Amino acid sequence: MNTIRVSATAARNKFFELLNQVALGTQVIIERDSKEVAVLSPKKKTVDWVALRKASKAVRGIWKDYDEKDNPLRRSGAWPTVGKWDKGLKFKK
């Protein structure tokens, strides 16, 4: 992330130009009397909780038909350590 340092007066005079810079991903540090007093930074993207909940409801119960005896990694000839990923997992039947 790029960073720009500007005085408080310059920030006041060029506020909308600084907002455009921030929208492009630049961080702006505003100084008054050679001391940092404020930081303008891009808004962090948030998680869409509604969509996440909808997706988790859609996959609910996906493991109900799982049988560890059908795991192709546990069949004879399979690499022995790969087939152990599900050992000890408890599934509702």
Q: Is 4 helix (H, G, I), strand (E, B) or coil?
A: strand
pLDDT for residue 8: 96
> Do the Cβ atoms of 29 and 6 come closer than 8 Å?
yes
pLDDT digits (tens, 9 = 90+) for 24-63: 999 999 999 999 999 999 988 888 889 988 988 888 877 7
Q: Is 36 helix (H, G, I), strand (E, B) or coil?
A: strand
Nearest to 1 by CA among 41, 38, 31: 41
d(CA 47, CA 21): 24
- The pTM assigned to this predicted structure is 0.49
Does the pLDDT value for residue 93 go beyond 60? Answer: no
Residue ranges per structural domain of the chain: 3-40
**Alpha carbon 87 to chain centroid distance?**
30
- Please name the fold of domain 3-40: YefM-like fold (3.40.1620)
